[in-house]
Every structure is written in structure tokens, then in C-alpha cells.
């Protein structure tokens, strides 16, 4: 059996996103420390990047080129969420099994780079 998968979002997790500027425009550098973190994680897990950029023409190629520019290696880049042990995303709320207050959590949500 192969390694289990960890999914990484691209913008705001690997790429220190200053905001969406189009699918093919990726002006920012990596989040500090992310390259080393991915190196360590890949020793134990398969790392797959899942990004909405991949829905755009050339999106996968643009992410691939950006990762190559910064010498960051991952195992796959896709627009489809594969089975995974965990998803690392800057725009997510961890569901704790309780629905009470979920709408308020959504309304108050802010990504780490907007706090």
C-alpha cells in the first residue's frame, strides 16, 4: 500500500497570496517555511495540490511553473479532491460535529493573512 495523501490548497497556503489577480498571475513568493514543511511531510505522505486555479485553462501548468521556480516538489496537482487524511487550506472551518453557530462562523471567517 502506498503513502496516504495530504491535500494542500495553493493560494494562501503554499503561495503567500496577496489576493486573486487571475488564474495565470501568481506574483507572490512562498509562505515562509512552506518548502521545508512540504519536504518533511513528503517523507511520510503523498502531497497533492488542489486549487481552483486548475479549473482555468493553463492553471495546472502555471502552478507547476511557479513550484519549479521556487524548487518546491509535490506529488500531484489537480482540480479534483482525492481521498486524503487531511486538507490544509487557509479558507476552511473545521467541522466539530456541531451545527449550532455554523452560520456565524461562516460570516465571521477571515483567512490568516487578512487578520
pLDDT score, position 19? 66
- Model confidence pLDDT, tens digit, residues 40-58: 999 999 999 999 888 888 8
CATH numbers and ranges of domains, the chain: 5-114 (3.40.50.1000)
pLDDT band at 8 (very low <50, low <70, confident <90, very high): very high
First to last CA, the chain: 41
89-99 average pLDDT score: 90
69-82 average pLDDT score: 95
Q: What is the phi/psi pair of residue 110, to 5°? A: -140, 135
CA–CA dist 69, 27 (Å, integer): 12
CA–CA dist 78, 53 (Å, integer): 9
Residue 30 confidence (pLDDT) above 70: yes
In this prediction, what percent of the chain has a pLDDT beyond 70?
A: 92
14-24 average pLDDT score: 74
Residue whose grid cell is 517523507: 43
CA–CA dist 59, 106 (Å, integer): 28
Amino acid at each position: 500500500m502506498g503513502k496516504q495523501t495530504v491535500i494542500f490548497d495553493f493560494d494562501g497556503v503554499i503561495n503567500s497570496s496577496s489576493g486573486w489577480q487571475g488564474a495565470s498571475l501568481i506574483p507572490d513568493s512562498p509562505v515562509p517555511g512552506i518548502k521545508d514543511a512540504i519536504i518533511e511531510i513528503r517523507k511520510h505522505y503523498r502531497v497533492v495540490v488542489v486549487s481552483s486555479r486548475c479549473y482555468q485553462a493553463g492553471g495546472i501548468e502555471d502552478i507547476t511553473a511557479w513550484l519549479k521556480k521556487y524548487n518546491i516538489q509535490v506529488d500531484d496537482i489537480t482540480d479534483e479532491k482525492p481521498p486524503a487524511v487531511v486538507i490544509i487550506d487557509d479558507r476552511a472551518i473545521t467541522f466539530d460535529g456541531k451545527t449550532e453557530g455554523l452560520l456565524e462562523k461562516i460570516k465571521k471567517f477571515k483567512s490568516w493573512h487578512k487578520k
